[in-house]
A and B are shown apart, each in its own frame.
Chain A
Amino acid sequence: MISFKNVNKWFGELHVLKDINLEVTHGEVVVVCGPSGSGKSTLIRCINRLEPIQKGELVIDNMNVHDKKINMTKIRAEIGFIFQSFNLYPHMTALENVTIAPIRVRKIPKEEAKKLGREILTRVGLGERIKSYPAQLSGGQQQRVAIARGLCMRPKIMLFDEPTSALDPEMINEVLDVMRDLAKGGMTMMVVTHEMGFAREVANRVVFMDDGKIIEVAPPKDFFINPQTDRGKFFLSSILKH
């Protein structure tokens, strides 16, 4: 479904993604982990062309995402993206946040979009807060609205860029619960996260990155118990100390 073929990216002189080759199949949950600056966020941001690539190919469902002639609106409509800092629209209610794209991009009639929005906000546990503005919601609630915003587009893929890193510890579980449900429902997901418990429980594979390269790819059971590379071992030893 998502295919990275020799993908390379530079920020100026800085080579941030180096010869990335990775396939993500339909319904798979892939967790991407690694130290700060390893290129994890850049990797998933390239998938919906929030970041361009300079070399290689990134293909989603036989469409080359970085081909200048491609209709990115159509591709982005199929990919939900959840940001670390939520990025909810502060001047819109929760319901308006989740319905603007279905109405304006998918051209769904307003009433139908509102009904869908209410259903999905209820599904993420925010049925009572549809008229609330982001400032009136906690961090965990805002992130759940952000997830609902992605889901209202009925995407094929959901990308998560450190979705719980900006949350207070007591709010992390409410977001991870929503993500677990999505994974169980068969959504194709790529998740950049430091939540190794989540990875162990839900991921089909863990991709470990360091210095712009994919160092190791393995099922969570294999990666956490028996990492094959020294860098993988060092990373796990440092995070599992906490």
Chain B
Amino acid sequence: MWSFYFNELMRSLPFFLKGLWMTVAVAGLSLIAATIIGFILGIVRASKNKILRSIIGAWVDLIRGTPFLVQVFIVFFILPSAGIELEAFPAAVIALSNMGASFICEIVASGILAVPQGQREAATASGLSSFQQLRFIVLPQAMRSIIPPLVGQYVLIIKDSSVVSAIGVVDVTRVGWLTVQRIPEGLMVFGLVGILYFAICYPLINLSNYMERRMTVTATRL
């Protein structure tokens, strides 16, 4: 019986790959949007403007303190009552981007604040503007401490994207749920789902580990 189900599962592989492609699409778009938004918010969060820092801080705490599933439901089910109707795919990307941006914001802000104050003073004393200081002096140095956790955050976004199957996005997790209804071997089906997630996350995990080691060695040499 087991070999029968295994063969059925292998015949369903194209369906899983289509689901995987949806996962890559949702996670990929969210990753890009979260990075852009997260960087902008992170730069503002590390600035001297107390009001903006507090507003962003409150938003970050709210997003990081609530379950992602709840956030997805709010975007998909609650927003229509405010007149904002969204299909499942855009709702998924918006919710995942929003969550990813909140974490990336903190990673970026921490990286910027970790650059020694003396660097900013030297740049200020030379007459460089705030924008020039950020672009030429602070951000290049901050990237050293931003990139490893940022890549790690990308892995988390990919894994968290599995939650969007709850609002009907046919990603690889949802394909798993649909398949297990006709191939009642949960371990086999979700084992395959796990392997497919691992296949896209593992290169990023390795990249994050490599970058962390490399940044540590470079920092030690300095």
A contacts, CB < 8 Å to B: 48, 50, 72-74, 76-77, 79-81, 83, 85, 87-91, 100-101, 104-105, 134-135, 149, 153
A123 to B125, CA, bound (A): 22
A74 to B128, CA, bound (A): 10
Measured between beta carbons, the chain B residues less than 8 angstroms from A153 are 126-127
Binds A, one of B44-52, B134-142, B185-193: B134-142
Instruction: Please give the number of chain B residues whose Cβ is less than 8 angstroms from any Cβ of chain A in the complex.
Output: 19
Which secondary structure dominates where chain B touches chain A? helix
A90 to B119, CA, bound (A): 9
A83 touches B118 (CB 8 A): yes
B7 interface residue (CB < 8 Å to A) = no
- In this complex, the member of B122, B128, B141 whose beta carbon has the largest number of chain A beta carbons within 10 angstroms is B122
A50-B124, A105-B127, A153-B126 are known contacts. Are A87 and B118 too (CB-CB below 8 A)? yes
A76 touches B119 (CB 8 A): no
A89-B119, A89-B137 are known contacts. Are A100 and B124 too (CB-CB below 8 A)? no
Q: List 15 A-B contacts (CB under 8 A).
A: A72-B127, A74-B127, A77-B127, A87-B121, A87-B122, A89-B119, A89-B123, A90-B141, A91-B140, A91-B141, A100-B136, A101-B128, A105-B126, A134-B222, A149-B126
A85-B118, A100-B126 are known contacts. Are A90 and B222 too (CB-CB below 8 A)? yes
A105 to B123, CA, bound (A): 11
Measured between beta carbons, the chain B residues less than 8 angstroms from A87 are 116, 118-119, 121-122
Closest B residue, CB atoms, query A84 = B118
B11 interface residue (CB < 8 Å to A) = no
B206 interface residue (CB < 8 Å to A) = no
A213 to B136, CA, bound (A): 38
B132 touches A104 (CB 8 A): yes
Q: In angstroms, how far is the closest chain A Cβ from the Cβ of B221?
A: 6
Query: Of A76, A85, A89, which one neighbours B127 at CB under 8 angstroms?
Result: A76
Query: Of A76, A85, A89, which one neighbours B124 at CB under 8 angstroms?
Result: A76
A90-B222, A91-B141 are known contacts. Are A50 and B125 too (CB-CB below 8 A)? yes
A76-B126, A104-B132 are known contacts. Are A83 and B221 too (CB-CB below 8 A)? no
